[in-house]
Structure formats: structure tokens, C-alpha cells
Amino acid sequence: MSVTQDFLANIQMEQKARFDAQRTVLSFTEYLDEVVVAPERHIRNASQYFLDMVNHFGFEERDYPTGPERRFSIFDCAADAGEGRVVGQERVQNGIFRLIKNFVRAGKTDRLILLHGPNGSAKTSLIQAVGRGAELYSQTEEGVLYRFNWVFPFGKIQKGTLGFGGDGSKESGSFAHLHADDVEARLPCEHKDHPLLLLEAADRRGFFERLQKSGKLPEHVTVPQYLIAGDLSAKNRKIFDALKVAYNGNMQEIWQHVQVERFYLSRRYRRGIASVEPQMSVDARIQQVTADRSVASLPKALQHVDLFSTGGSLSDANRGLLEFNDLLKRPVDAWKYLLVASEQGQASLDPVNLFFDMLMIASSNDIHLNAFKEYPDWQSFKGRFELVTVPYLLRASDEKQIYLQQIPKALSNIHIAPHTIEVAARFAVLSRLEPPDPERYPREIRRVISSLTPMEKLRIYDEGVVPERLSQKDRREVQKFVPELYHEFDNAVAYEGSDGASPREIRAVLLNAAQDPRFDHLSPIAVLDQLRALIKEKSSYAFLNRAVVRGYRDAVAFVEQTEKAYLRELEDEMRQAMGLVAADSHSRLFERYIRHVSAWTKKEKLVDPVTGQEGDPQEQIMQKVEKVLLASNEKPEDFRRSLISQIGAFRLEHPDRDVDYDHLFGSYLHRLKEDYFAQKSSQVTKIHGIFLRMLEDDVADVDAKDLALVKEMRTRLHELGYTDESAKHSLAFMLNKQTAG
């Protein structure tokens, strides 16, 4: 056997084994056996299927500064290496999950889920992630789905050894497993009717009751109305009734023609998942079967029956998911049929009525939704729609992830300098934040809430960092109301995240910045310049024309604030790279100071960690730190007691956590760091100059010790993600800004 033959033979064996293991083709009796073994897997409608799918892939609880959120794994698209992953939007995920759960409890899917939000807020990505999860789930044993076909063998086979009760059948009384050469006609069900609908409604109910009495179907399981009272599609009903007459009501002879077939959901092939684009017609069609195939090829019992096959999105998506892209862009008359379709699961197609079982999810931008609310029929549609708001992201760390997924792929051969993506993400989120309404909060905190700047609000949402300028009492109060702050605009027409720079616009900013001829890399400097160009285009971007309120909606100021934040981060990195002091030295100094202050407050002795001897807290150590931290009119004794009170309050609120000095006293640590480098300013300036000269190969007269130091700095900057070029431009930018004041 040749290598090719051996290869193909192995494929044949593996595929046949997989085909058999997946129970791809069954007789009707074999299918019912499967139902008896695992009834919950088969007795479910589309909503239950999608609920089970979401639970199958699981979720994780995430603790955000704004409150805990449940994130569902299907939106991470792990099976596709993160391709199509939905960043953030946990509130939307939970909204979709809650609605599907409501459908399951009701036993029917009688609403259309409408995701609405600004352009580019991931509405389509959310729907596609749900569809992709369903595709993967349908390939598992737990997510098995079946439909059926009608099989009619050649007359000699039906009358001979393979007839009802014949001895030569693979399974007595079934044509399901016939070889293709023995089949004269095979009529598929394009509509993918559930095989259980082949049982009459009364028989179906009796079957479910038996399963419940036997304990195989738990009592808490809600059997969907679709399977309790539903019926076959028009084509299958006509075939069934014609065979019933032909066989004088012998059900076994009817069922012998049933071939139950496993199918897999697929967006690509519109199998159980379909997408509808804005158009003018009803999303279904019919075609007469007997009009385009030889009547003689059909069994005699069916040759006189007008059979119509169904097609179009409603039929393609049956038993799965139907997505309406930009639903409200269509003229209302083109989708009025959804009034009945979404609530009753049916649509009228002359000469048949089409019944279906599917999850319907649509998307729309807010502009079209708000316009539609003025339409006379809005109240009728409102009762059939479940609205889910999809805002822009409000956490800069989430926004950053969007561009980290997209930009490196688009710029595969271009270096992206550190902080570039953060600069873009920070501006985007700042442009979306709304000024909080102080009147919604307790009187004692209104002044503080009113004083929060956009950048402070951004850090609260993203990091849980309350402004250090506030007193400890005010900080505690603000911390307490962070969830309320985050949800303040949930029910507002102009909700937070409904306006601002879209990810699409920011992506364009990043791609344009990558073409800046000054740099061989994507630089945050170029991004800042592109943002300055963007905010001048007021005629193109509506968010640039909003009235400024207490510093919010001020795009010009946001660019400057974003630049300042970048410069602070850049300065810290350059200092860290110089290696003049260990990264945690100021934290260790402050912790040592706190130990002495604590002992001083309690009038206790301190144990020297080196000698092990006890001694009094040292005023010299405390005064050295207080010289930097104390205000001119502040007493050391009051300052020390205030620090201990803050630590005590932290331990009361977080008994299971160690005191995080960086978080609790970040402003003090920053002052200590600034003081240290102020004392070293001449040395810092010297190192910066030598570093830039080294990158230009101009170090002939540089002292060997200094040269070794800047070489180490270069290595550290490379470890931080810089190239020589991006480090040079970033440092020069920082020095120019410092010189300019």
C-alpha cells in the first residue's frame, strides 16, 4: 500500500468511527431510545438549548472596582484563539443570559432581544460570539441536535426483504440505514423539524409524562410549549398525512420511512444560524417541490400532494439563532411580520404558515431606536422587544484590550512603543464619561462627587483609585458609592457610554499614527498628534460638539490630560531604567517609617531587625520622612495619628488583606520619590544626556562608569518593551516638555 493509500485508509477508518460514535443517522425507534436515556438533552427548545450552551462553557466571577460581574466564557472565544473575543461588556452578557433564562422559565421564546447602542459598541460581536458558542456546543455530546428526512426505497426493496417486518433489514421495519443505491427518493426537511413532532401532540404529552414518572425527566424541567403543542411544518404534515392514509393508519409503517439525522449548527452554511441584513422583503420563501423534480421519482402516495420546501433566513435559522443586523434601518413595513413572528413563532407565507423555534437577536444604533420610538406602532413593538443597552466601554483597561487584539495584527512588522495603546484607550474613555449628578447622592458627599474630574472618574472605574487629594473620610465615602457612580446613568436616555469616540475612530487614529514619517514605529507621540487632528473635525464627530460640563465632554482638555498622564508614566519608567534606586525602596522607607510611628503612637518599643534589641522609635527617622510629607502648618503628632487611623480603618474594612501602602498612601510615596530625584536632578540630567549621545554613537569622551550605567539603562528599557528608536524619541519628547515647563 502506498503512502497516499495508507493515509486515505486511516482517514476513512477515523471518519467512519467518528460517524458511528456520534450517532449521526438513526431510525425513529433508535432516536426515541436516545431520548429515554438523556431526555433533558433532547426535550428542549431553542432558548433552553442556548441556556445550556452558555452554562456548558461556564463563567467566572470578576471583582471590579465598580462591583462584581459574571463573565461568560463563550464571549472569550477561546476555541478560536480569542478571534472575535468580546472585551468587557459583562453587564450586556448578563442581560442576554437573564432574558434567555426568562424564556426558559416561560416555556417559550416570545420576545426578540434588541441590542442597542452607539455605532461600534460590539453589538454584532456579542451576537456572533453567542452563535459561535452554539456551533461549538452542537459538536459535543451534550449539544447534540437532530432533524429528520423521509426515505423511500425502490419498490422491490420495500416489498421484499426490507419491508415492514422483513428479515433482511438492518433494523426490522426501518429504512433509515439503507445504502444510497437502494433509496429512490430522500426528502429532507429544510426546516429542521424536531423529530419528536412526529408523535401526535397527545402521544407526545403521554411520552413526557412517562419520562417524568420514571424519574428520567426531572420535575423541575419545563417542557417547552413548542414540544407540547407544536406540530410538523406544512410539508412534513402533508407527507405524514399522505402516508397515514396509504398505510391505513399504521404508524409503524410511517415511521419506517423516517431517518433521524444529527446536524451541526453553522453560520457559514446557514444551518441553524442565519443573519439578516437590512432589506425590503419577508425573511422566508417557499418553493414547490413537485414543480422542479420528476413526479415519477416520488412515491405514488405523494405524487398527488403539493409539497412546498421552505427557505430563507427564518427557515435556515430554525432550531437555532436568527440575527437581524441593524434591524431599524429597514422600513418598518418590511418587518411588521415580527409582531407575530417574535411572539407566536410563526410567519404567513402564501399558501402556508411557517412555524419555528429560534432565538431572535437584533441590533440597532440608538439614533434609529430613538426615531422609531416616535413611530405610532412603537407601543405594539415594545411589547415584543426586550431591550438591552450596549454602551461603549468605560474602563480604559478594557478599551486597551480591543486595540491590543486588532492593531498588532494590522501592523505586523511595526514596533509599537510602550504606552501607545494606553494613550488612545484613555482618551477614548475620557470622551465617554458623563458628569455625575451630586443631587443623587447623600448631602454630605455631594461636594466631593461634584468635584470629581473625568480623569479621577476614569481611575475610579478602572483601578478603584479614589483621588488622593481627598481626606480619608471623603475617600471612604466615595469608595462606598463607586457602584452607584458606575450605574448612575443606567436608565437615562443619554446613558454613560452612549456617546464619545468609538473604537472604530480610535483604531483609525492608531493606524494613521503608524504612518507618521518621523518614526519607524507606532509612537504615542504620533497618536497624540492624531488625536489633536481628530478633535478639530467637529463637523464629522458629534461627540465633539457637546456642551462642556465641569470639565466633562472637553475633548481638547482630554488630549492634554492624556499627554500629562503619559509623561508621568514615562518619567517613572526612565527613572526605573536608570537604576539609581530600587523600585520598591520608597515603599520600604515608608513602611519603616510607619513601624516607628505605630510604636510612637502606642508608646511601645521597637525590635531592631538586625540586632534583635529593643529600642525607642527614632525621631530622626520619622522627621526625615515628615520633612518631605508634612504641609507647612501641619503638626507631626497630628499627621502621625492620622496615618495610624487610616491604617486602622483599612484593616477594619479589609480584615483579610495586608495593608497596601502603595494604594493607601500613593500620594506620599510619590512625594518621597519626587524628593529623591529632585536631589539627584543634576545626575539624572547627565544620564539622560549620555543616553541620547550613546544612541548616536557619540560617547568617545564619556566616563567608563557613566557609560556602563547608561548601557544598563538601555537594557532595562529594552526589557520594558522599547527599541533604541522608540526610547530615543520618548526620552527626547519628555525632556522637551520638561524644558518647556
**Peptide bond before residue 351 is cis, with ω within 30 degrees of 0:** yes
- In 195-233, where does DSSP find H-type helix? 201-213, 225-228
pLDDT digits (tens, 9 = 90+) for 249-271: 999 999 999 999 999 999 999 99
CB half-sphere exposure, 445, CA atoms < 13 A: 20
pLDDT at 661: 77
Q: Any residues with CB less than 8 A from the CB of 705 and at least 6 apart, and which?
A: none
- Phi and psi for 379 in degrees, rounded to 5? -60, -35
Dist. CA 328–CA 334, nearest whole Å: 10
Strand pairing category for 346-349 and 352-355? antiparallel
Q: Residue 29 carries which side chain, given as an amino acid letter?
A: T
Please tell me the pTM assigned to this model.
0.86
Q: Residue 137 carries which side chain, given as an amino acid letter?
A: Y
Quick check: 428 and 500 in contact, CB under 8 A?
yes
pLDDT at 293: 47
Within the chain, which residues score under 50 in pLDDT?
160-171, 291-295
CA quadruple 662, 665, 671, 676: dihedral sign: negative
CB half-sphere exposure, 265, CA atoms < 13 A: 29
Quick check: 730 and 688 in contact, CB under 8 A?
no
CB half-sphere exposure, 242, CA atoms < 13 A: 18
pLDDT at 58: 95
Dist. CA 510–CA 500, nearest whole Å: 17
Q: Any residues with CB less than 8 A from the CB of 163 and at least 6 apart, and which?
A: 157
First-to-last CA distance in the chain? 81
Residue 144: other Cβ atoms inside 10 A: 19
CA quadruple 293, 294, 300, 303: dihedral sign: positive
Task: Write the burial class of residue 270 (CB in 10 Å: 0-12 exposed, 13-18 middle, 19+ buried).
Answer: middle
Q: Any residues with CB less than 8 A from the CB of 85 and at least 6 apart, and which?
A: 75, 76, 77, 129, 405
pLDDT at 1: 64
- For residue 552, the 8-state DSSP code is B
Q: Any residues with CB less than 8 A from the CB of 162 and at least 6 apart, and which?
A: 153, 168, 169, 175, 178, 182
Cα–Cα nearest to 45, from 230, 219, 235: 230
pLDDT digits (tens, 9 = 90+) for 675-710: 777 777 778 888 888 888 888 887 778 788 888 888
Dist. CA 209–CA 219, nearest whole Å: 10
